[in-house]
Structure 1
């Protein structure tokens, strides 16, 4: 009787590889299906069992925070550029994240409600405050534009993304009311 080939459980040796696969799968599925995508689907996409997923990420929020830390690193890199247009690039990327991955905002909301020490909004505020004054001073934005206005704009973009009707070009809708070039809404 021939022996069947079976998957070998590599145990701890596969931990780092499994973690990377889970994060990659979560990023794809959060973007495609939203924050409430079944964790079972993420485990399956990553090629791991649910137990492995839960060993690495005990809560959905833990997984989301790790996935979106990649986005924060990208936003921080943009904000670190001392050029006056850094805010415009930060704003453009932030709006793209909200449109492409509204999960980013859903994760913020859940983190704020369930994790006392999470300060994603504070981190985002700091990025805006580090870039906005340079853009205003260079005349790229209205002098009256505030950090609170920008944060309100993010919330508005999320509202457009969350209420979009199938087939609508969400990015175009957001650009209509929240331009990325510093101009005023049309």
Structure 2
């Protein structure tokens, strides 16, 4: 006969509940950004789950499909740019540094900036809303007479720089992005995530 411990001192593993869920979600978004940068938006979701150190079931609990994962990455990208823009010491160069970091890290973010109306209408509206938020965050820091001050020039410049962001390594993508800004005559602050 098998005996099971009946002592009240026997402990179950701790259930971290919402804390674990929040950590898992953050790990999945970070992993998705890395995987998308390395392999593009068509990378397998299983690779994202592996990189985050969770099972695929955990991924699907947070994100029911591929679009939901990409949307979460995009939302975080845009939120960081908005936070950089509303920081007490915000400058155009500083906000462009944060935006450039996201360009070098996220293929999904680059795709957002190149939305041309193709695809499903719901996806297009979502992308346009996020792109509008990026433009508003940047626009508030463009001084009068700045080369990017003309109607439509700001986001055209962002799209042009994002088009230059390619290369096999993050360092190469950053080098190309900074070269593109320089060729446009625009100064960029440190390339890093907001708060980094």
Segments of structure 2 that go 5 or more residues without pairing to the other structure are: 1-12, 189-196
Count of residue correspondences: 166
Instruction: Identify the match of residue 154 of structure 2 among 146, 150, 162.
Output: 150
**CA distance change for structure 1 residues 93 and 153 in 2, over 3 Å: closer, same or farther?**
same
Q: Who is 2:6 aligned against?
A: none
- Residues 5-27 of structure 1: CA distance to partner in whole angstroms, max 9, x if unpaired? xxx8x796753343233222212
- CA 1:11/1:109 → structure 2, altered by over 3 Å: closer, same or farther? farther
Structure with greater helix percent:
1
TM-score, normalised relative to structure 1:
0.69
Identify if the C-alpha distance between structure 1 residues 66 and 147 changes in structure 2 by more than 3 Å, giving closer, same or farther. farther
Q: Give the distance between the partners of 1:33 and 1:181, measured in 2 at CA.
A: 30
Q: CA RMSD in A?
A: 3.4
Q: Which residue of 2 aligns with 1:77?
A: 83
User: Normalization by structure 2: what TM-score?
Assistant: 0.66
Structure 1: which 5+ residue stretches go unaligned? Answer: 1-7
- Structure 1 segments, 4+ long, off by >6 Å, are 10-13, 165-168
Change (3 A) 1:149 1:107: closer
**Cα deviation code 1:97-140 (max 9, x no counterpart):** 22343331224557x744355210221222133222xx22xx6x
